[in-house]
Chain A
Amino acid sequence: MRPTGRGQSWWWPIGPALCVGLAAVPAFTPQVLATGGLAIPAVATLFAVFLGPGLARSDWVASDSSSPMHVLARGFADAALLGSVAVGLASWLPTSMASWASLSVWLLAAVAVGYGRAGLLALPVVLGLAGSCVLLLGRAEPWGLLTPSVDAWSDWLSVALAVGALVSWGAGQWSFVPSPQPGRQSVPSLASGLALMAVLAACVGVAASWEHSLAGPPGPIVVVGMVLAAAMGAIATLQRASTPRWRLGIAGLGWLATLWFAGPAEGLRLAWWSANLPVLLGVAAGLRAIISRELRWSVAAVVLLGSAALSFGGVPTLVLPAVASVLPLVFAFWVAGTRAAFSRAL
């Protein structure tokens, strides 16, 4: 038997953590996917494998703190999550039904959270995304949008890092976790793995639907899957509210944000994923790094990864000079990443 604590099963935090990860799934619109193909989820996976579990574990113990710095970091994370859900819903809901459909999503999410353990709804959503992916693969070949490309890396790198942060780091930082319990150290890996599977299934489904519709609007299966993923993000957002009244307030705010991104701020959707969200996550991570010494390896790995990304364009074309120039950076990232991933902050 898995060790359990305080009457709760070891797998209970998976649901809320997975909900945070699913909030990143709607980012993969055809326009975003076209910039880098599967290179985007690949970098997100790199982030999630090396950095996510370490960040999540080290943050597991700090979820109850009420110090001003923790509250500030949590506020930035709240804003990042709520904005991602709003942009996700606005991106995938048809304009004609955006107002009432998004209101329904936020209200239903609030009701579901009220019943408790709503986060476990994320598991059937992941299965649904995987099933719809298989179904759409039977209709069209998805290769056009999926071919990895690094030509326009500056367009998608920040998106990939933000997605990687949401699918993994959220397992610790942005989950509704009452208190640290033994036996939960592996939960972030499980939640990250399932979220990455959802991301991969969504990418394949979007690409297949895009080919099937001849670059036209996405099919209903994809739209429903993306809206459900965003709805799980709404549940994760509302689970963070401390009281039912505050929860309804956040739902109202989320609805208004959705309407804003569906209408006046339609042109800012792409900028949200590539600029606003990474900045908010970066600020939240920076504050956490200041608070928690356990994050130092993760921060070092992030800095090294950023350096690698920024210096990518200057790498020599000849093989040996290229290897010689990037080898120290790769080795340093490997050391910092593995130390972060296997750190035992608890």
Chain B
Amino acid sequence: MILVLLSMAHASIELEVAPAVGTEVVVVVVRDGVPGRGETVRVMHRPGTVHERERAIGITDGRGRVTWTPEEGGVAEVRAGTELRAVHIAYSGVPATPLTAIALLLAASLGLVFTGLRRRRRP
């Protein structure tokens, strides 16, 4: 198994693969070079915002491992005890809601621009 270390050299939370929505990923907690057993691992989505939401992933086994299947994309913090590491959870696709909002807002602003450019008769 290829262990991809996404954290810094001294970090104690590691993820085997880059997290993505709907894809199972193994979180490994290491303390002082040994697996952290019985650690409660949580994830905080959108940290530091009014919409931040915490979810429990699970408790690490004897090898300091717990599996996690992210349900929502974006920035998140994986936490185990006092340790935390920020990760980016890849989206499964382009979300329809913000994309639609962008399209509508762009259309509105372009509509105003073209209205402003339209030739009008002198009153």
Q: Do A42 and B116 touch (CB < 8 A)?
A: no
Q: Do A42 and B101 touch (CB < 8 A)?
A: yes
The residue from A142, A147, A188, A197 contacting B109, defined by CB atoms under 8 A apart: A197
Q: Do A196 and B105 touch (CB < 8 A)?
A: yes
CB distance from B91 to the nearest CB of A (A): 6
Given contacts A183-B120, A214-B88, contact A34 B46 (CB under 8 A): yes
Give residues of chain A (24-44) contacting chain B, Cβ–Cβ below 8 Å: 30-31, 34-35, 37-39, 41-42
- Tell me the bound Cα distance from A35 to B46 in angstroms: 11
The residue from B75, B86, B95 contacting A147, defined by CB atoms under 8 A apart: B95
Q: Which residues of A contact B117 (CB under 8 A)?
A: 186, 190
CB of B104 within 8 A of chain A? yes
CB distance from B19 to the nearest CB of A (A): 12
Q: Do A194 and B51 touch (CB < 8 A)?
A: no
The residue from A143, A187, A196, A215 contacting B108, defined by CB atoms under 8 A apart: A196
Q: Do A140 and B109 touch (CB < 8 A)?
A: no
Given contacts A143-B94, A190-B112, contact A200 B105 (CB under 8 A): yes
Give residues of chain B (85-123) contacting chain A, Cβ–Cβ below 8 Å: 86-88, 90-91, 94-95, 97-98, 101-102, 104-106, 108-120, 122-123
CB distance from A42 to the nearest CB of B (A): 6
Q: Do A211 and B88 touch (CB < 8 A)?
A: yes
Given contacts A31-B49, A34-B51, A214-B75, contact A183 B122 (CB under 8 A): yes
The residue from A141, A149, A211 contacting B51, defined by CB atoms under 8 A apart: A149
Q: Which residues of B contact A41 (CB under 8 A)?
A: 105
Q: Do B112 and A196 touch (CB < 8 A)?
A: yes
Q: Do B122 and A200 touch (CB < 8 A)?
A: no
Give residues of chain B (51-78) contacting chain A, Cβ–Cβ below 8 Å: 51, 73-75, 77
- Tell me the bound Cα distance from A194 to B111 in angstroms: 10
Q: Which residues of A contact B114 (CB under 8 A)?
A: 193
Give residues of chain A (1-56) contacting chain B, Cβ–Cβ below 8 Å: 2-3, 30-31, 34-35, 37-39, 41-42, 45, 48-49, 53
CB of B8 within 8 A of chain A? no
CB of A152 within 8 A of chain B? yes
- Tell me the bound Cα distance from A30 to B120 in angstroms: 41
Q: Do B105 and A2 touch (CB < 8 A)?
A: no
Give residues of chain A (166-208) contacting chain B, Cβ–Cβ below 8 Å: 182-183, 185-194, 196-197, 200, 204
Q: Which residues of A contact B74 (CB under 8 A)?
A: 141, 143-144, 211
CB of A148 within 8 A of chain B? yes
* Proximity string of chain A (119-152) to chain B, C-beta cutoff 8 Å, 1 when within and 0 when not: 0000000000000000000001111111111011
Q: Which residues of B contact A53 (CB under 8 A)?
A: 112
CB of B2 within 8 A of chain A? no
Q: Do A186 and B115 touch (CB < 8 A)?
A: yes
**Residue on A with the closest CB to B77?**
A215
- Tell me the bound Cα distance from A192 to B51 in angstroms: 30
CB distance from B74 to the nearest CB of A (A): 3
CB of A293 within 8 A of chain B? no
- Tell me the bound Cα distance from A3 to B118 in angstroms: 12
Q: Do B120 and A186 touch (CB < 8 A)?
A: yes
Q: Which residues of B contact A332 (CB under 8 A)?
A: none
Q: Do B123 and A193 touch (CB < 8 A)?
A: no
Q: Which residues of A contact B116 (CB under 8 A)?
A: 186-193
CB distance from A58 to the nearest CB of B (A): 14
Given contacts A182-B123, A183-B122, contact A204 B102 (CB under 8 A): yes
CB of A117 within 8 A of chain B? no
Q: List 12 A-B contacts (CB under 8 A).
A: A35-B49, A141-B74, A144-B74, A147-B98, A148-B98, A155-B50, A186-B115, A186-B118, A193-B114, A196-B105, A197-B106, A211-B74
For the complex of A and B, the 7 pairs showing the least CB-CB separation, nearest first, are A190-B116, A193-B112, A144-B74, A34-B49, A193-B113, A214-B86, A196-B109
Known: A143-B98, A148-B98, A152-B50. 8 other contacts (CB 8 A): A34-B46, A38-B98, A38-B105, A146-B101, A189-B115, A193-B110, A193-B112, A204-B102
Chain B residues in contact with chain A, CB under 8 A? 46-51, 73-75, 77, 86-88, 90-91, 94-95, 97-98, 101-102, 104-106, 108-120, 122-123
